Structures are given as C-alpha cells and as structure tokens.
Amino acid sequence: MGPLAVTQLLALISLTVAMDNGLLKTPPMGWMAWERFRCDIDCKDDPENCIREDLFRDMADRLVEDGWKELGYEYVIIDDCWMSMLRDEHGRLQPDPFRFPGGIAKLARYIHDRGLKLGIYADMGTHTCMGFPGTTLDTINIDAQTFASWGVDYLKFDGCSSNPIEQMLGYPLMSKALNATGRPMAYSCSWPVYVGGLPPKVNYSLLGDICHLWRNYVDIQDSWDSVQGIVEWFSNNQDDLQPAAGPGRWNDPDMLIIGNFGLSVDQARAQMALWAIMAAPLIMSNDLRNLDNSARFILQNKVAVAINQDSMGIQGRRLLQEKNHIEVYWRPLSHSASALVFLSRRTDMPSLYHTSLAKLKYDTGNYEAYDVFTGSTVTGLNATTQFTLSINPSGVVMWYVYPEQTSKETETLHYQHNKASQFTFHKAEPGHLTVL
C-alpha cells in the first residue's frame, strides 16, 4: 500500500476516531518505570527494584509525600513486563499473579485514593518488546475494555512485533476502542518511531486526531550522549515536528533520566530546560525513594515546570547553532513572555557567549529576565543591550524573559531557590550586561 493510500485510509478512520476528550491540554507529568527499572522481574533476589505492585505503590507514595503531586506530577505509569505470559480464560490480558497479587484494579484504587492517575503499557503486535503477550488487531477492543474496567487513566501503546500495515490499522482502532469505553484515557502512541518519525510516512496532522502524545524517536538511555542525540534529531527536524504539537497533542522525546547515573548536575539541568522548551511530557524514570537533593531541586523547579506547562502549548525551537558550540533555544509563552535556553555543547571549560535580545529576534523594548536555575533577575535589559553569559560545559543558562511592564503579572512564576545565587549581575559598560 502506497503512502497516498495509507493517508487516505487514515483520514477516513480519523473522522470517526478524534481523540478529543479534553485530556492533556498541557504535557503530561508523572513517573514511568522503564528507563530506570527496565524488565527486572527477579523479585526473589532484587525485591526492591523488580516490576511488581509494591514498586508502583512506593512511587505513588513518594509523589504525594515528597511534593511532586502538587507540582503536577500525577501519572504513575507501568511499562513492559507486568503481564502474565498467558491471557485468561476470557482472552483478557492479566497481570503476573506473583508480582501483582492484588491485580491492576486494586493498584489503580490505591493510586486514585492518593489523587494520582495510573498508566499502563501494551503493544500493537503479537508480543511486547520484552516478549509478553501483545495486542493484535482482533484483541484491541477487549484490551481497551479491560483497561477501562481496571480504572486505567493512560495507555502507552508500543509497536514491537507488528508490521506497518498492522500499525496503520491498529493505532487508530485502539483510539476508537478507548473512546468507546466511555472512560477518559490519555493515549500515548509509539507509532511514529516505528516508521521513521517523519513525513511523509508520518502524517502528524492526522496523528494528532488519534493520539494525545507520541514517541517520535529512539528510546532514551542513561547518558548525556543519548540526551544530545535526541535533542539534535528533534532540532534538525523541528520544521516538521514543531507545528504538530499543541494542547492535547504532544511530541514525546522520551523520559527524564535526571537522578539516575548518567548525567552530571549541569547535564541534568540541560535536560530539564530543553524538555521544558520542547513542551515535552515530563515523565520521570528514576528511583524517587533514593533521589539526591540536586536532582530533586531540578525536577521540582517551579519555573521550569511552569514554562513546560504554559497554556499556549507552543513547542519551542532551536534558533542558533554557533561555531563555538553554543546553541540557543526559544519558546513563546503566555502574557507576552518567552523562554530562552543557552546550551553549551563543549565538554572542556565554561564558555562566554555574547549576544543581545535583538540578535535573537526580540522586538524593541525593555525586558527583564529571570534565571530559572539560580533565582536571579536581570533588570535594565533593553532589546539592544549586549550581554555576556557564562555557560558551563554540557550545561545551560535558562531565562524566563518578559516585558518590563508585565513583571508584576509574572511574580507567581518567580521561584527563589533557598541557596544563594551563583551568578551576579552588574553593568560592565554602558549598554552591556555581564553574567558571571
């Protein structure tokens, strides 16, 4: 079947599917098991880290008790490896009875009782990526009904062990089946990544009618190289990807790995800043029971979260790639505000970057800039004011920028860190600011 025929068929299906149930007007936030805990099912020798109901109850408790829920981190999402190897006598998926003895419905009640939402994983294909039972075309309806009966709030629908034709049919059909249950469920599709992530093989306009969010690119790994590779792919293809995003339909560059083993503090700030700029889902995959303070401060940064959750829902863009390995990212926000991220791709030493808002296409006027990770505010900033930033290797400076006359409207976003500011601001010369 050619691309035109696929598009026409998908268009026909989408007319009756439209996944507009009012969910995810801002990117989803929460916690997911996969990147940190993978498919650890050895509950005998590794009971603290294996995929079982206790792990998800623990993470739900941490979201509530450690301040995550109040910031918007509300989803607890089960990934692969939760299932029994056999469906039940009625053809329904069922959890492994030893690792989930209470069943998924009981776990959902536990999570709902804490004001949180439960996500679950299935796969469009004969088997999941780790070899558990998949969802074939003839079991889509029963699986959707099963998830609804359990009280599931979010479905991640993967695509291992299926072909492009099955995916073309299955992803829209699951959307329709979820709608038919009458239970509002967020729907995360992995379809784009299995067909290359880009037009013409992916029709993002139609996909946005079917899914709330979608995985575009390869799985994230616990490394700075992986984060950089994802950011580079999204930036190189932003003309295709950026217009597809908006309230209720989000590009998903994959999980936040902050608090694991592969990122420095500067790199963790960089991931948080770039995911905020990209209007990406903020789905952590870490061990919330053993999270150090630096990771907690980054992930709970109220201004970074507010930028990510901006109601306009416009995905940001990379503006510049400089020869000195500095990159500039920008996102428009509500109330005539915006966010800027200055990223250093260097790995050796801090970089000094000289620029002005005018060079970054800002209109004439007076602005203030709030430094998201230090709590400092830059005042007296005209569009033509030259300023200099010091950016750590593989790190960022992130600014929340707003017109001076609207500063009072934005005070609620100004979150002052308890620690003293690392940066100081002073006039180096007329019309020039230095950030040290």
Give residue for tokens 């006359």: 405
Q: Is 292 a catalytic residue?
A: no
Active site residue 219: yes
State the Cα–Cα distance between residues 61 and 161, nearest whole angstrom: 35
Query: Residue 354 corresponds to which amino acid?
Result: H
The answer to whether the beta carbons of residues 139 and 91 sit under 8 Å apart is yes
Give the containing element (helix H, strand E) for 186: strand 186-189
Burial 75-114 (b: 16+ CB within 10 A, else e): bbbbbbbbbbeebeeeeebbbbeebbeeebeebbebbeeb
Q: How many whole angstroms separate alpha carbon 91 and alpha carbon 162?
A: 20
Q: What values do phi and psi take at 32, rounded to 5?
A: -135, 145
The one catalytic residue in 143, 158, 209, 254 is: 158
Dihedral over alpha carbons 260, 261, 264, 268 (to 10 degrees) = -30
**At a CB cut-off of 8 Å and minimum separation 6, what does 160 contact?**
123, 125, 127, 128, 129, 134
Name the catalytic one among 219, 222, 240, 266: 219
Sheet holding 351-355, edge to edge: 351-355, 386-391, 432-435, 425-429
Annotated catalytic residues are 158, 219
